[in-house]
Structure 1
Amino acid sequence: MTASERPVLTPPVPGGRVLLHSCCAPCSGEVMAAMSSSCIDYTIFFYNPNIHPRAEYLMRKQENLRFARKHAIPFVDCDYDTDTWFARARGMEREPERGLRCTMCFDMRFERTALYAHENGFPVIASSLGISRCKDMNQVNACGMRAAAPYDGLHYWDYNWRKGGGSNRMVEICRCEGFYKQQYCGCAYSLRDANRHRRAAGRAPVAIGQPVRGDAGTGT
């Protein structure tokens, strides 16, 4: 399916503005393109205090900001409150990918997204997190729905961005845009585990914040 053959999308509140939580440019590129092709009014919300260290965080944010500016999409740059993230992750340091620490992380990011949406008149929130095959889509969507539930009139859009060729288009957009190629999920503990696997395979450790370009990364 080519970009011109994308299905026409309708958010849960037809015609309503969407606040799109974006974890990174590689994951959000296709989601943004799909919304734009359906003439959906949306704004990027970048809140990812899990990304560690700061050099990596800045690299990922700048890539996302660059792509948003290229397409004239509003971009909200939220706080990088890592202290709160580490406090909430305490006791979960050894959790595996897709475990309780990831649920906490999604909850924290969606809670801030939902609050901003409520305070600024967005009836719909969505996220690019679920497009990555590294993520458990059911886990992501459950966190999004839980975050939206306290606010009357706020809906979480659980659309499957992978279907209809979405995953393949995500990779193609990453290649065409030359996005920074992420080499681990994002947090300090995923970096630790990624480097452990790389050492076992005889590979060099992750190069933090270096402009490695290529296909889609691992997601955040």
Structure 2
Amino acid sequence: MERRKLELPENGKKLLLHSCCAPCSGEVMEAIMASGIDFSIFFYNPNIHPRKEYDLRKDENIRFAEEHSIPFIDVDYDRDEWFKRAKGMEMEPERGIRCTMCFDMRFVRTALYAYENGFDVISSSLGISRWKNMEQINDSGVRAAAQYPGVTYWTYNWRKQGGSARMLEISKREKFYMQEYCGCAYSLRDTNSWREKNGRERIRIGEKYYGDTAKPGE
């Protein structure tokens, strides 16, 4: 299927793409590159736990960005602040108010960086995942961008026109690290709890890769 040429909203000139991980952003990045859009990757994900998982996701994202000469902006791992904001929401379900808080925290930081560094459009690869609520993500992004004059959140549906299928194809082609839970400590806890109840082994961080069980190059 031929890709549709994308255009930034509001006659935008420069995009700051918040990326959560390489598997989710791979297809988004390739679609943006194919459309000739000027963009940079913004990696701010203080929710990801533990640090080993965070570094694996970030390093895979850097690897893919460097392959295509896409600028990669690596923001501080502000984990303590994330846990502070999540206090009282520890038992909230996936897609609930804790996730809204998490999106808000990440997107406001993205919008601030965009405002201070000459980007007029922001978006995120988070929406391509079928495990996420796209309406929840877009609402958070629009609210974040509205805080900064001249910044627009792009609500493009990255899943459509085969985006979700190409996401998997690219992940297998690149042998990306396969994360098996959303990212935060509570998602890890709940995923392991479900696995134990269903007779499956607990998540073993750093061991699974798309298309192979071994690390790329091994």
TM-score for the superposition, normalised by structure 1: 0.94
For residues 56-71 of structure 1, what are the structure 2 equivalents within 5 Å?
Answer: 56-71=53-68
**How far did residue 15 of structure 1 move?**
5.3
1:30-87 deviation line (CA, Å, top 9, x unaligned):
0000000000000000000000000000000000000000000000000101010000
**How far did residue 204 of structure 1 move?**
1.3
Q: Aligned with 1:52: secondary structure?
A: coil
List alignment gaps of at least 5 residues for structure 2: 212-218
- Per the alignment, residue 12 of structure 1 pairs with 9
**How far did residue 127 of structure 1 move?**
0.3
- Per the alignment, residue 73 of structure 1 pairs with 70
For residues 99-114 of structure 1, what are the structure 2 equivalents within 5 Å?
Answer: 99-114=96-111
Q: Aligned with 2:89: secondary structure?
A: coil
Tell me if structure 2 keeps the 8 A contact 1:15–1:40. Answer: no
List alignment gaps of at least 5 residues for structure 1: 216-220
Residue 213 (1) aligns with residue 192 (2): no
Residue 133 (1) aligns with residue 130 (2): yes
Deviation above 6 Å: which 4+ runs of structure 1? none
Tell me if structure 1 keeps the 8 A contact 2:48–2:184. Answer: yes
- Per the alignment, residue 38 of structure 1 pairs with 35
1:138-169 deviation line (CA, Å, top 9, x unaligned):
00000000000011111000000000111111
Q: Aligned with 1:125: secondary structure?
A: strand
Distance 1:47 1:135 in 2: 18
- Per the alignment, residue 161 of structure 1 pairs with 158
Q: Report the aligned-residue RMSD.
A: 0.9
- Per the alignment, residue 218 of structure 1 pairs with none
Distance 1:78 1:125 in 2: 16
Distance 2:149 2:141 in 1: 15
Letter in 1 for 2:164: S
Letter in 2 for 1:31: V
Letter in 2 for 1:96: P
TM-score for the superposition, normalised by structure 2: 0.95
Distance 1:179 1:201 in 2: 27
